[in-house]
Each structure stands twice: as structure tokens, then as C-alpha cells.
């Protein structure tokens, strides 16, 4: 073996060690959250994934507005780790580790191995904080790894496979497609180390075709099963016609409240990233300046991904963290004084979630972490309700939850009696509550679950002969005067 080969092998091992360390760090900071109770998003996605595995078809048999990629991701994780809530959390943790490793690899190309590892480590810890919910296997967790893979492939001059990866990202969460301009900029401007003027149109066409391929394949799958209309309605039409107009009440207040909680979790990292964004916009007309502007474009595309749904849930902000991690490192590298640069880097590292919220990582259990993240103990109550249902019903019995806690179906391992696992979906698509009850009660569910103050659901259940069998008290929210308690009620139909 020549000296140059030995040197290249040594460099590869050195970089591989950095990347493996970053991935291990991402996994490590998520270990305390593996026991967090299943929340409603995870529960809904896992329920649909399991139903699909057992022969039901998403959208046609079970209405849900998430794209099919997330269900396939869960099923892939279960094939490795087994079908359980812990396995689903573990799948998300490995996915986050892969994202962190990709940030480190891309960072090494941008800034060098050490600074790249710093960007990867920053993302690994920042994205795993309690508030931003990056520890949970949400759609953003899986979308992000494919967006990063798409960026990496585009940078290596492979626009077709980059497009396929971005199309898969969109099948994890629709807003993944908002990153298309940034990936296009990488493919056209940065691939090959400079502006790809001659092959720009060709690269753009290949990228666009690659994005379309996963969507064509998935649309063909559902069309072949006579479910094209249901697929379109769940993945696109419902989100456009019901989801966005439904939120008319003070969306900016919601944004301000959730962003404030996310910002407080890593304030210096956010400031550093935003400073890096401003510096990138004002950067020179050089290769380094082009890289900075592409990162700034990526950040803007991710912001659009956060804003487009007007819901502003905290985990939506996860998609902006990869470009912000790169921009934060770029801002630190722009500080001319080495002592000041190291002091600023130390401030970013110190003021991250494990330091600002140490109890979340070393003292609190799953119940406490869930309450910290969501401000309610409803998911613990759902776990209790599921245990009661599983022990008091037969496997072929059905259940209906009047509300928005589909995790009960998943944990109880019982089918929903309705096509709608969220009552608010049914209320948006059916004429009134009476129609919702008729649709849900057609299959004669053995158990009906209601939450909160007495509602139409309690009245409907009583009319149909159901008897109250269990009440579970839980904290619904935290108010200025203290916790606001409410009740989950289980009604059972006599045999």
C-alpha cells in the first residue's frame, strides 16, 4: 500500500470516528426519553401503521392526514426492534442519530472535520431537547434525515437520487417538499465545487423527476387498490381545505408561545444561527459566499415549512435546526479573535438543554418528562385506560374514543369502531355530532371513552345503553392558579 493510500485511510478513520461519536451523542441524549408515554401523534401513526400491516388500508379504511411514509418508517423499525412503543421510540432515536451523522459529514465538507463534528454535535443535542420534542419519532424526525440525505447527494452531483430522497422526505411530511429550492441550489450552484452553468438545466430536470418518482409510486399503489380518492383526500385535500382554514384564532399568539419555549431551550444557539444567517446574506461573491447563501436559502425554506400549516407546534421547528447548526458554526468561525471564538463556542455548548434542564436528563422519569413537554398527564391516563380495555375486552372487540387520543387504540391493541380515529376529523367531514356517533356506533364498540366535561358523547352513550365502568382523573393543563384537572370516562356496552 502506498503512502498516499495509508494517509487517505488514516483520514477516513479519523473522520469516521468523529461521525460515529456524533451519532452516539445523539442517541445518548435521547435515552432518558425512551420511557415517555405514547402521545397522540405517535399513537395515531403507530395505530395506522399496525392496521396497514394487518391488512387495512390507510385513508380508505382509516382516515388520517399524514403521508404514508411515516407508517412505512414505523413498520421498518418494528421489523428490526419489534412492534412496541419502546421500539418505535428507539427507531426515532436511531433516525435522529443518522441525521446528526449527516450534519457532521456535510459540516466536514463545509468547514473541516473538527468544525463539522461540532455542527453535528450541536444538532445532536439541540434537536433532542424536551421542548422541541426531537426525542419523539415525529414526522419531522424522519423527514429531516431524508432532507439531509438529499442535500448530501445533490452536493455530490447526484441530482436524480437527491430528488428521490427529497420525494421520500415529502412522504414523511408534506413540508419536506418545501426544501426543493435549497436542494436545487445545491445541485446547480455547489455540485462540483462551483456554479454548474452547463449542466444546470439537466440537473434541475433530474432532481424534479427524482422528487416525483416516490409520489408516483405511492399514488399508483393506492390507485391500484381503488383508494386514490381517499389517498388524495387524506394526504392533500383535507390539509388544504380543512386544516389550514380551521385555525382562525390568534395564530401569531400560538407561534409566539411555542417559539418562546423552543428558544428558551437553547437561546445562544438560536442567536448564533440567526447571526450566521445575516452574515451569509451579506457574504462575498466567492465559493464560500455561495455556500453561505445556499445555507441561508435552506433556512428560509425550512421556515416556510414551519409556517405553512399555521399550527406552529413545537416539533415543527425541528426542520430549521440543521441549517441553523451550520450557520451557527459559520458565525463562530467568522469571529477573528481565537479566544473570543472559543468563548462563544463554549457559551453555545453550555447553554443547551442538558445544562439548562438537567433534571430532564438525570432525575425525571417518563411521566414527568411527558408532563414537562406537553403540560398534561392525559397520555398517562391513556395508558391506564388502554390497560383496562385490553384486560376487559376480547381481541376482536372494537373501541371508540370520543376525542383526540388515538394512542388508546394502539396501546389497547383494539380496533377503532370508526373510520375516523380523531373525532375532530369526523366533525369536520360529517354534518353534526349525531352523524359522528352514528358512524362510530355502527360497529357496536364494546367500550366508549370520553374526555373532559360531559358532552354529546356521554349523552349518546347513555341513550344506547352503555354504562359507566371507569373514571380516570388527569391534569388537562396548567393554569395560573394551578393544575386544571379533568376526567376520562370509560363506558362499557353490556354483553
Query: What dihedral angle (degrees, nearest 10) is formed by the CA atoms of 412, 413, 416, 422?
Result: 60
CA dihedral sign of residues 162, 166, 172, 176 = positive
CA 126 – CA 29 distance, rounded (Å)? 10
- State the cell numbers at 447: 367500550
User: CB within 8 A of 485, min separation 6: which ones?
Assistant: 473, 474, 475, 476
Query: Residue 456, Cβ neighbours under 10 Å: how many?
Result: 14
Q: Quick one: cell of 38?
A: 405514547
Q: Give percent of the chain with pLDDT exceeding 90.
A: 61
Does residue 2 carry a pLDDT above 60? no
- pLDDT of 8 reads 47
Q: Cell for 420? A: 375516523
pLDDT average, residue stretch 276-286:
85
Instruction: Provide the whole-model pTM.
Output: 0.92
pLDDT over 70 at 248, yes or no: no
CA 374, 118, 184, 283 dihedral sign is positive
pLDDT confidence tier of residue 286, bands split at 50, 70 and 90 = low
Q: Please, what sign has the CA dihedral across residues 231, 234, 238, 239?
A: negative
CA-based Rg of the chain, rounded to a whole angstrom? 24
Please name the helix (run of DSSP H) or strand (run of DSSP E) that holds residue 430, with its range, or none.
Answer: none
Query: Cα dist. 259→99, 237, 315, 468, 479 in Å?
Result: 22, 28, 10, 41, 19
Q: For the ranges 53-67, 89-103, 298-312, which has the lowest average pLDDT? A: 298-312
Whole-number Å distance between alpha carbons of 65 and 58: 10
> Rounded to an integer, what distance in angstroms lies between the CA atom of residue 282 and that of residue 396?
63
Report pLDDT digits (tens) over 405-451: 999 999 999 999 999 999 988 888 888 888 999 999 889 999 999 99
Question: 1 in helix, strand or coil?
Answer: coil
Other C-beta atoms closer than 10 Å to the C-beta of 240 total 9
Closest C-alpha among 382, 380, 409, 379 to residue 397: 409
What pLDDT is recorded for position 197? 53
Residues contacting 79, CB < 8 A, separation 6+:
none
Per the document, the length of the chain is: 495
Least Cα distance to 416 among 391, 435, 442 occurs for 442
Amino acid at each position: 500500500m502506498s503512502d498516499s493510500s495509508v494517509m487517505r485511510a488514516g483520514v477516513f478513520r479519523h473522520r469516521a470516528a468523529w461521525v460515529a461519536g456524533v451519532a452516539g451523542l445523539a442517541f445518548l441524549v435521547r435515552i432518558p426519553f425512551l420511557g415517555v408515554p405514547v402521545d397522540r401523534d405517535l399513537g395515531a401513526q403507530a395505530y395506522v401503521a399496525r392496521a396497514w400491516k394487518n391488512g387495512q388500508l390507510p385513508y380508505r379504511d382509516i382516515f388520517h392526514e399524514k403521508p404514508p411514509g411515516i407508517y412505512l418508517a414505523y413498520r421498518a423499525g418494528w421489523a428490526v426492534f419489534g412492534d412496541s412503543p419502546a421500539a418505535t421510540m428507539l427507531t426515532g432515536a436511531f433516525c435522529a442519530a443518522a441525521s446528526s451523522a449527516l450534519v457532521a459529514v456535510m459540516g466536514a465538507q463545509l468547514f473541516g472535520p473538527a468544525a463539522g463534528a461540532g455542527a453535528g454535535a450541536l444538532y445532536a443535542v439541540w434537536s433532542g431537547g424536551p421542548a422541541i420534542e426531537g426525542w419523539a419519532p415525529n414526522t419531522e424526525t424522519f423527514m429531516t434525515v431524508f432532507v439531509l440525505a438529499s442535500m448530501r447527494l445533490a452536493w455530490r452531483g447526484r441530482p436524480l437520487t437527491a430528488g428521490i430522497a427529497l420525494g421520500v422526505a415529502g412522504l414523511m411530511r408534506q413540508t419536506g417538499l418545501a426544501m426543493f429550492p435549497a436542494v436545487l441550489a445545491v445541485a446547480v450552484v455547489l455540485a462540483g465545487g462551483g456554479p454548474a452553468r452547463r449542466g444546470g438545466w439537466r440537473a434541475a430536470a433530474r432532481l424534479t423527476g427524482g422528487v416525483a418518482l416516490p409520489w408516483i409510486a405511492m399514488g399508483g399503489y393506492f390507485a391500484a387498490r381503488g383508494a386514490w380518492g381517499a389517498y388524495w383526500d387524506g394526504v392533500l385535500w383535507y390539509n388544504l381545505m380543512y386544516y389550514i382554514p380551521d385555525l382562525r384564532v390568534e395564530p401569531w399568539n400560538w407561534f409566539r408561545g411555542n417559539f418562546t419555549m423552543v428558544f428558551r431551550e437553547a437561546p445562544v444557539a438560536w442567536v448564533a444561527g440567526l447571526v450566521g444567517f445575516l452574515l451569509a446574506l451579506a457574504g462575498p461573491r466567492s465559493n464560500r459566499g455561495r455556500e453561505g447563501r445556499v445555507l441561508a436559502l435552506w433556512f428560509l425554506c425550512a421556515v416556510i415549512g414551519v409556517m405553512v400549516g399555521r399550527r406552529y407546534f413545537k416539533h415543527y421547528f425541528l426542520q430549521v435546526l440543521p441549517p441553523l447548526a451550520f450557520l451557527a458554526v459559520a458565525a463562530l468561525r467568522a469571529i477573528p479573535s481565537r479566544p473570543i471564538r472559543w468563548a462563544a463556542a463554549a457559551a453555545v455548548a453550555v447553554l443547551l438543554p442538558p445544562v439548562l434542564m438537567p433534571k430532564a436528563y438525570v432525575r425525571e422519569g417518563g411521566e414527568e418528562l411527558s408532563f414537562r413537554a406537553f403540560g398534561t398527564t392525559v397520555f398517562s391516563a391513556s395508558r391506564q385506560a388502554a390497560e383496562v380495555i385490553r384486560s376487559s375486552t376480547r381481541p376482536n372487540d372494537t373501541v371508540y374514543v370520543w376525542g383526540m387520543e388515538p394512542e388508546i387504540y394502539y396501546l389497547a391493541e383494539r380496533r377503532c369502531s370508526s373510520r375516523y380515529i380523531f373525532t375532530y376529523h369526523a366533525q369536520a367531514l360529517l354534518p353534526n355530532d349525531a352523524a359522528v356517533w352514528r358512524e362510530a356506533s355502527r360497529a357496536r364498540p364494546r367500550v366508549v371513552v370520553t374526555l373532559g366535561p360531559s358532552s354529546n358523547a356521554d349523552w349518546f352513550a347513555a341513550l344506547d345503553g352503555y354504562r359507566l365502568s371507569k373514571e380516570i382523573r388527569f391534569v388537562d393543563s396548567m393554569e395560573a392558579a394551578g393544575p386544571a384537572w379533568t376526567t376520562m370516562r370509560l363506558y362499557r356496552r353490556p354483553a
